[in-house]
Structure 1
Amino acid sequence: MKSININSIYICIFSFSILISCNNTPSEKVAEVESNETAHEDIVALTSAQSQNAGIELGHIEKKQISGTIKVNGVLDVPPQQLVSISVPLGGFLKNTTLLQGSRVKKGQVIATIENLDFIQIQQDYLEAKSQLELAKVDYERQQELAKENVNSQKVLQQAKSNYTIWEAKHNALREKLRVINIDAKSVEDGNIRSSINLYSPIEGYVTQVNVNIGKYVNPTDVLFEIVDTEHLHAELIVFEKDVPRLRIGQKLRFTLANETKERMATVYLIGREISTDRTIRIHCHIDEEDKEFLPGMYLTGLVETGSTQVPALPDDAIISYQGKKYIFIASEEKEENHESSDPTQGDPHNEESKNFRMVEIETSNSELGFTEVSVPDSIGNSAVVIKGAYVLLSKMKNSEEEGGHAH
């Protein structure tokens, strides 16, 4: 009985081991297959005959002389000296204006009339100061003559001089105030007292803002109008920090405006010296041919020409676009034997050595004369690159994936 029990135990253990083995094997095989599928999803294999039929040619990354450019965005802008904000030196009511947005004005043209009773007071104070100054001057000159004859004291002479100096300062200050508010002092001296003043345009250009209406009271801090001289707009561009070392004053900019296809030229004039929080700088370019139809704020895109340099490059045919990214195929060192035929002696064309090609993501830059500047992973090293037939490999790879298998 004891022997029978021991045998029964051995049988149970053996059966349990077989059961565990059966349960584990499929899972391990599935995991292994999935791992192989993932590892080879970027690889496609072709036999020598298939490579020849597909026109596959191999080459290497070469150094090429390619003219460099920097892609930029920006706007047409106005230099500060060509954008004028019109305000009044003293507050008042807007009595008259004919300006509208887009109106063209000439330098010195009357653009508005401001009315305020305080203007009358300033003119009155000026006339009083002028009269008192004349009296003080006469008195001072008389005291000087008396002092020469020792008729008056030195104290009286000093008082006369002080009075004359005070009225001279008041007269000059009020005269300057009249000039600032565009009232002619000589006209006031002739008795022409005004309650309103004219505002004149300091430049020739176009009105871009009208912030007032007739009858509105305006303060000295209010901006009534903005006038822009569009004769000499410049291009203000945004350049990323990584491209700054390639910029030089005098480089050419080829740009187009958002509303046209005509290519225009400009020259880099100033390079900013401050990097913004978004890691960009601003550069200013003078437009080679001015256009009166230009408007401040027009959006533009362009290329700054940075000159020719030796860079790693590949033929354009070697680079493929897929799902918004750039790729190349490199020849893998791994090779496979295809054993689809059950009889290796039959000379089946499938029973020949295959070569693997691996798809690798890259970055591209400037292109010229059929070559494109590339940046590739260091792991590629000096591997051979497919320079012709790359799209055939991509097509085969994607067809194999759709059929449910990998590229083999």
Structure 2
Amino acid sequence: MKTTFNHNRIMAICLPALVLLLISCGNKSKAPAADSTATAEHHEENIVELTKAQYQTVNIQTGTVTLRELSGSIKVNGMLDVPPQQTVSISMPYGGILRNTTLLEGYWVKKGQIIARMEHPDYIQLQQDYLEAKSQLGYLSLEFARQQELSAENVTSRKTFQKTEADHRSLQIKLEALKQKLQLMNINVQKLEKGTILRSIPVVTPISGYVTRVNANIGKFVSPNEAMFQIVDTEHLHAEITVFEKDIPRLKIGRKVRFILSSETKERTATIHLIGREIDSDRTIRVHCHLDREDREMMPGTYLKAWIETGAAEVPSLPENAIVMDGGKQYIFLQEPGDDDHYHFSRVEVKTGVSEGGYTEVMLPSAVDADTARVVISGAADLLAKMNSGDEEGHGH
């Protein structure tokens, strides 16, 4: 009885261990099969199969990657601007009260046009001082000539002649200074010398252009050098564009720039005139471009999109229709070996470069032989649609 009991006890201990060992071995033998199924599914998800009828309906056409000369371009942003010398702030060197102006923002004015009038007692005093100095100089000139003759004949002392000469010279300097001040105030000295004293003085624009700011109103006291108006000459606008640091080596003075204003749809052209020599904190530089055709109606500050032409180069390319977009990535389809009744196509992700004339530069993965690969150049969109519809059916199932 004791022997039988020990035998049963040994079997009770070994049997569960044996079952666990068998289960473990079974799981290990099944693992590779699961992996191969996953691999097959991953491979199949990038393959499209068409029947002969489907192939003929879609009208698939294939071709090869070819070298083609494409002109590259850099897409940038910018704005219209004017050179500093074409923007003028109108002010007066002497303070006064603005008595008259008809200017409004948007008015066009011509160089030399009177755009306002100002008044102040000091203006009248300055004209009076000039006329008095002019009169005194006339008398002192005669006295200087008389003293010069007397000094030559030793009739008068040398000291008296020198004082008369100094007074004459001092008055000449004072008169010239007053004349320059009057000219700064746009007062015609020749008319003043005829006795015409102006109560109000004219404010004259030094350039032609559009009025972009009006900072004063009638009756306001305007301090010396306070800007009353701003005028911009829009006939010399330029495109100021921003280029990232990585694209600087592709820039060259004289290259063409195509741009579209944010308020328009038509394309305009410009030429690179200056390239900035300092990189900003956002790793960009400023590029100054002259417009090929100036337009007075364009407004400074208008934003624009531009494309800088960087020259042509031979690059591997495909027709634009051969490249499809899916999930934010770009793909092409390659025809794989098949039979008379079934056609297989594999989807391959690619990188693209410049585009021109219906062709796009492509960078193929290293596993694809560009010389022998048969690329779908017509019908790629249909293949992608079939692939996506197949995915949806698989997910639904």
Please give the range of the TM-score, normalised by the shorter of the 2 chains: 0.7 to 0.9
2:391 counterpart SS class: helix
Residue in 1 aligned with 2:166?
162
Distance 1:90 1:13 in 2: 110
Residue in 2 aligned with 1:206?
210
Distance 2:306 2:68 in 1: 24
Residue in 1 aligned with 2:383?
393
Alpha-carbon shift at residue 245 of structure 1 (Å): 4.5
Alpha-carbon shift at residue 247 of structure 1 (Å): 4.6
Residue in 2 aligned with 1:268?
271
Distance 1:393 1:142 in 2: 111
Query: Does the aligned pair in 2 maintain the 1:238–1:280 contact within 8 Å?
Result: yes
CA RMSD across the alignment: 4.1
**Structure 1 residues 356, 17: closer, same or farther in 2, change over 3 A?**
farther
Segments of structure 1 that go 5 or more residues without pairing to the other structure are: 337-347
Residue in 2 aligned with 1:130?
134
Question: Counterparts in 2 of 1:8-407, with a 5 A limit?
Answer: 8-17=12-21, 32=35, 36=39, 39-40=42-43, 43-46=46-49, 58-134=62-138, 136-150=140-154, 154-264=158-268, 266-268=269-271, 270-274=273-277, 275-276=279-280, 277-288=282-293, 290-330=294-334, 357-368=346-357, 370-378=358-366, 380=368, 382=370, 384-388=373-377, 389-404=379-394
Alpha-carbon shift at residue 306 of structure 1 (Å): 4.8
Distance 2:152 2:367 in 1: 104
Query: Does the aligned pair in 1 maintain the 2:101–2:116 contact within 8 Å?
Result: yes
1:37-67 Cα deviation digits (max 9, x unpaired): 8854862153896996565555442211234
1:158-190 Cα deviation digits (max 9, x unpaired): 444433333322221111001100112334344
Alpha-carbon shift at residue 148 of structure 1 (Å): 3.1
Distance 2:369 2:340 in 1: 33
Distance 1:20 1:76 in 2: 75
Identity among equivalent pairs (%): 43
**Structure 1 residues 60, 178: closer, same or farther in 2, change over 3 A?**
same
Distance 1:268 1:178 in 2: 44
Query: Does the aligned pair in 2 maintain the 1:44–1:396 contact within 8 Å?
Result: no
Alpha-carbon shift at residue 205 of structure 1 (Å): 3.0
Task: Specify the code of the residue in structure 2 equivalent to 1:286.
Answer: L
Query: Does the aligned pair in 1 maintain the 2:239–2:289 contact within 8 Å?
Result: yes
1:298-338 Cα deviation digits (max 9, x unpaired): 44445455554322211223211234543223468xx99xx
Distance 2:117 2:106 in 1: 20
Query: Does the aligned pair in 2 maintain the 1:73–1:301 contact within 8 Å?
Result: yes
Distance 1:387 1:306 in 2: 30
Residue in 2 aligned with 1:340?
none
1:121 counterpart SS class: helix
1:395 counterpart SS class: helix
**Structure 1 residues 157, 37: closer, same or farther in 2, change over 3 A?**
farther
**Structure 1 residues 121, 2: closer, same or farther in 2, change over 3 A?**
farther
Query: Does the aligned pair in 2 maintain the 1:87–1:221 contact within 8 Å?
Result: yes
Distance 1:146 1:34 in 2: 128
Aligned residues: 387
Distance 1:163 1:5 in 2: 143
> TM-score under structure 1 normalisation?
0.76
Query: Does the aligned pair in 2 maintain the 1:311–1:373 contact within 8 Å?
Result: yes
Distance 2:225 2:17 in 1: 98
Query: Does the aligned pair in 1 maintain the 2:331–2:347 contact within 8 Å?
Result: no
**Structure 1 residues 380, 219: closer, same or farther in 2, change over 3 A?**
farther
Task: Specify the code of the residue in structure 1 equivalent to 2:390.
Answer: S
Query: Does the aligned pair in 2 maintain the 1:56–1:386 contact within 8 Å?
Result: no
Query: Does the aligned pair in 1 maintain the 2:48–2:386 contact within 8 Å?
Result: no
2:348 counterpart SS class: strand
Query: Does the aligned pair in 2 maintain the 1:129–1:167 contact within 8 Å?
Result: yes
Segments of structure 2 that go 5 or more residues without pairing to the other structure are: none
- Between 248-257 and 182-191, the greater mean CA deviation after superposition: 248-257
Residue in 2 aligned with 1:344?
none
**Structure 1 residues 88, 167: closer, same or farther in 2, change over 3 A?**
same
**Structure 1 residues 399, 222: closer, same or farther in 2, change over 3 A?**
same
**Structure 1 residues 160, 57: closer, same or farther in 2, change over 3 A?**
same
Query: Does the aligned pair in 2 maintain the 1:44–1:393 contact within 8 Å?
Result: no
**Structure 1 residues 44, 176: closer, same or farther in 2, change over 3 A?**
same
**Structure 1 residues 281, 126: closer, same or farther in 2, change over 3 A?**
same
**Structure 1 residues 321, 364: closer, same or farther in 2, change over 3 A?**
farther
